[in-house]
Structure 1
Amino acid sequence: MMDVQDELLSQSMNALQVKSIADHMQIFLAWVLFASFFDIFIYYLYFNDYSNYLNNWFFVLIGIITTMILSISYLKKNQIETNNDKIDALFQFFCLVIGTTLGIGICIIYYFLKIENSELDHTQVIVLSGLLLSITYVIALTYLVERFSYFLCIFLPSALPAICAQLLFLHDAFYFYSIITTLWFSTIFISALMSSRMHNRLKILNNNNTILIEQSKRHLNESKELQTQLKKEFNRTEEIKNELQLNNQLLEQKVKERVNDLKQINDRLENHQANLDFAHETAGINSWIWDIEKRTFEIAKANNEVEFRQMNLKHSNNISEFIHPDDLSHYKSILINHIKGKTDRFEAIYRIKKNDQWCWIQDIGRVIVRKTNNKPLRMVGIHRNIQKEKSDQEKLKLAANVFKHVAEGIFVLDSNLCYLEVNQFFEKLLGYKQEDVIGHHLFDITVNNDPYASKTYTKMTKQLIETGEFDSELQIEFTSGKKLVLWIHINVIHDEKNKVVNYVGIITDLTDRKKQERKLSYLKHYDILTDLPNRFYFKQQLHNYLTDYSNLFKHFAVLRINIDRFKAFNDSLSQKHGDELLKKVAQRLRLCCANASLTAYLNNDDFAVIYNLSSGNIPIHQQTQSILQAFKHPFEVNGQDQTITISIGVALFPEHGLHLDSLDGHAEFALDEAKRLGGDTVKFYSNSKIPILSQGINLENELRKAIKERHLSVNYQPKICIQTNRIYGFEALVRWQHPTLGYIAPDIFIPLAEETNLISDIGLIVLNETCKQIHQWQALGFDHFRVSINIVAQQIHRGHLVEDIDYALKKYNISGDMLELELTESSLLDKSEQVDQLLLQLKDRHISISLDDFGTGYSSLSYLTSYPIDVLKIDKSFISKIGREKDEAIVNAIIAMGTAIGITLVAEGVETKEQIDFLERHGCYILQGFYFSKPLTSAESTQYLEQHKLITI
Structure 2
Amino acid sequence: MNDVQEELLSYGVNSSNIRKIAKQLRIFFLWLLFSCVSDVFIYFCLFHKTSSALTIWLALSSFFILSFFIFNTYVTYQYKIKKFKYINTLFQVFCLILGSLLGLGIYILNLEISLMPNTVAPFYSFLLSGFLLSFPSMMAMNFLNQRFSYFLAFYIPAVTPIFSVPLLFPTNTNEIYSTIFIIWFLLLFFCAYVSHKIYIRAENLNTKNKFLFKQSQERLEESQYLQQQLKSEISKTQAMKDELQMHNHLLEQTVKERIYDFKQINDRLENHQANLSFAHETAGIHSWVWNIEKRTFEIANSKSDVEFRQLNLKPNSINDYIHPDDIANYKTLLIQHLKGKSGRFEAIYRIKHDDQWCWVQDIGKVVSKNSKNKPLRMVGIQRNIQKEKTDQEKLKLAANVLDQVAEGVFVLDNNLCYLEVNPYFEKLLNYKEEEVIGRHLFDITINNNPKIQQEYTLITQELIRDGEYESEIQVDFTSGKKVILWVHINAIYDEKNKVANYVGIITDLTDRKKQEQRLSYLEHYDILTDLPNRFYFKQQLHNYLTHYSDSFKSFAVLRINIDRFKLFNEFTSHKDGDELLKQVANRLRLSCTHASLIAYLNNDDFAVIYNLSSCNIDIHQQTQKLLEDFKQLFEINGQEQIITISIGAAIYPEHGLQLDSLNGHAESALNEAKRLGGNTVYFYSNKKTAIHNQEVNLENELRKAIKNKELAVHYQPKICIRTNRIYGFEALIRWLHPIHGYISPDIFIPLAEETSLISDIGLFVLHETCKQIQEWQGLGFDHFRVSINIVAQQIYRGELVDEIDYALQKYNISGDMLELELTESTLFDKSEDVNILLQQLKERHISISLDDFGTGYSSLAYLTSYPFDILKIDKAFISKIGQEKDEAIVNAIIAMGNAIGITLVAEGVETREQMLFLEKHGCYILQGFYFSKALSSADSTKYLEQHKLITIC
Shorter chain as denominator, the TM-score bin is 0.3 to 0.5
**Higher Rg:** 2
TM-score by length of 2: 0.42
- TM-score of the pair, normalised by structure 1: 0.42
